[in-house]
A and B are shown apart, each in its own frame.
Chain A
Amino acid sequence: MPKVKVKRKKPVLDMTPMVDLAFLLVTFFMLTTKFAPEESVIVDTPSSVSEIKLPDTNVITLSIGKEDRVFFGVDGQQTKEALLTKMAGKYGVSFTPEETKTFSLLTNFGVPMNQLKSFLAMDPEARKSVKQPGIPIDSVNNQLGDWVHQTRLTNREVVIAIKGDVDVNYSTIQRVIDILQERKINRFNLVTDMESKPQN
Chain B
Amino acid sequence: MAEIQENDSGGKKKGSKKAAVHLDMTPMVDLAFLLLTFFMLTTTFSKPQTMEINMPVDPENEEEQIALKASNAMTIILGEDDELYYYFGLADDKPEIVESDYSAGGIRKVLVSPQVKSNDKMTVMIKPMEASRYKNVVDILDELKITDTKKFALVDISDADKQLVQEQIGQ
What residues of chain A have their CB less than 8 Å away from a CB belonging to chain B?
A: 12, 14-16, 18-19, 22-23, 25-26, 29-30, 32-33, 45-54, 56, 64, 161, 163-174, 177, 181, 186-195, 197-198, 200
Q: Which of B26, B51, B56, B137 contacts A15 (CB 8 A)?
A: B26
Chain A residues lying within 8 Å of B58, measured Cβ to Cβ, are 181
List 9 A-B pairs, minimum CB-CB distance, nearest first: A29-B39, A22-B32, A189-B50, A46-B138, A50-B51, A15-B25, A166-B135, A164-B134, A168-B134
A22 with B29: CB separation less than 8 A: yes
Interface residues on chain B, number (Cβ under 8 Å): 47
Whether B137 and A170, one on each chain, are in contact in the complex, defined by CB atoms closer than 8 angstroms, is: yes
Chain B residues near A186 (CB-CB < 8 A) = 54-57
Cβ A50 vs Cβ B50 within 8 A: yes
A48 touches B36 (CB 8 A): no
Q: DSSP class of A's interface residues: helix, strand, loop or mixed?
A: mixed
B2 an interface residue at 8 Å Cβ cutoff? Answer: yes
The residue in chain B whose Cβ has the minimal distance to the Cβ of A64 is B134
CB contact between B50 and one of A19, A52, A177 (< 8 Å): that residue? A52
Contact A181 B36 (CB under 8 A): no
Q: What are 5 A-B contacts defined by CB distance under 8 Å?
A: A48-B141, A56-B47, A167-B134, A170-B136, A170-B137
Q: Which stretch from B5-13, B64-72, B124-132 is at the chain A interface?
A: B124-132
Contact A15 B2 (CB under 8 A): yes
- Given A30-B39, A198-B104: A22 in contact with B33 (beta carbons within 8 A): yes
